[in-house]
Structure 1
């Protein structure tokens, strides 16, 4: 239990040190990005992502976002909006024709779940991921 509390304190301290407090009292961090952790959209209709800085997930940050899935021809075949409550996405069906994912945050900020503070990112977070053609659908 002690170890868990210490780990959470260290993570919280690391995450808060990564942000800049602006003169108006708001927070800003321009180095945040979506990071794709796992993807099986073609086989299972699932993907998992997080908000990260320098490829390290920051678990207490969240944001609403839109996921768009495109086929090889560039035609949108799926579009869904997610609240950010969970970053583990499960579509209602597999999308075997999927060739690319586009993920975009609904705003130019993320929210720290611990403090409820908004942290400006200046621009909405985005991620474009071409899906591996060798992956079996």
Structure 2
């Protein structure tokens, strides 16, 4: 009986901090963020993103987004709109002059790729980083 109670408590704790179902039937998770999985923009034009929570990528979530790349002087050298079909980006060419990257979701939602369910994030997710 004690083992069953511990298992139940553990199961309940796994759902803590997960998505919340709102009164109107929609889902919301205000703890989601854009994560950087890998970056090789200067060398090969590759950028790998993910939707993450507490630093852990969630593979079945996606979103549409805009990418802007800036050089050392702050001049925009690339911008593109991505549908979110994949979060593994390959630019047409490497960008050796890249200094700063700015990524912003096109809406305040992510989509579960398995179920098609929209999950509200409260605001469009953003990621900004300096290329090393």
TM range (shorter): 0.7 to 0.9
Give the whole-Å Cα distance in 2 for the aligned partners of 1:114 and 1:16: 21
**Are residue 115 (structure 1) and residue 115 (structure 2) matched?**
yes
Q: What's the counterpart of residue 9 of structure 1?
A: none
Equivalent residue pairs, number: 119
Give the whole-Å Cα distance in 1 for the aligned partners of 2:50 and 2:16: 17
Residues 34, 61 of structure 1: CA spacing in aligned structure 2 closer, same or farther, 3 A cutoff? same
| Contact map agreement 1:22 1:28 (CA 8 A) in 2 | yes
Q: Report 1:51-62 matches (<5 A).
A: 51-62=51-62
Residue 90 of structure 1 and its aligned partner are, at CA, apart by 0.3
Unaligned runs of 5+ in 2: 1-13
Please give the per-residue CA displacement for 1:97-129, whole angstroms capped at 9, x wherever unaligned: 000000000100001111111100010000001
Give the whole-Å Cα distance in 1 for the aligned partners of 2:116 and 2:57: 18
| Contact map agreement 1:108 1:124 (CA 8 A) in 2 | yes
Give the whole-Å Cα distance in 1 for the aligned partners of 2:49 and 2:100: 15
Q: What's the counterpart of residue 98 of structure 2?
A: 98
Residues 83, 103 of structure 1: CA spacing in aligned structure 2 closer, same or farther, 3 A cutoff? same
Alignment partner of 2:116: what SS? coil
Q: Report 1:61-80 matches (<5 A).
A: 61-80=61-80
Residues 15, 81 of structure 1: CA spacing in aligned structure 2 closer, same or farther, 3 A cutoff? farther
Give the whole-Å Cα distance in 2 for the aligned partners of 1:124 and 1:130: 20
Q: Report 1:1-137 matches (<5 A).
A: 18-132=18-132
Unaligned runs of 5+ in 1: 1-13, 133-137
TM-score with structure 1 setting the length:
0.83
Runs of 4+ with >2 A deviation: 14-17
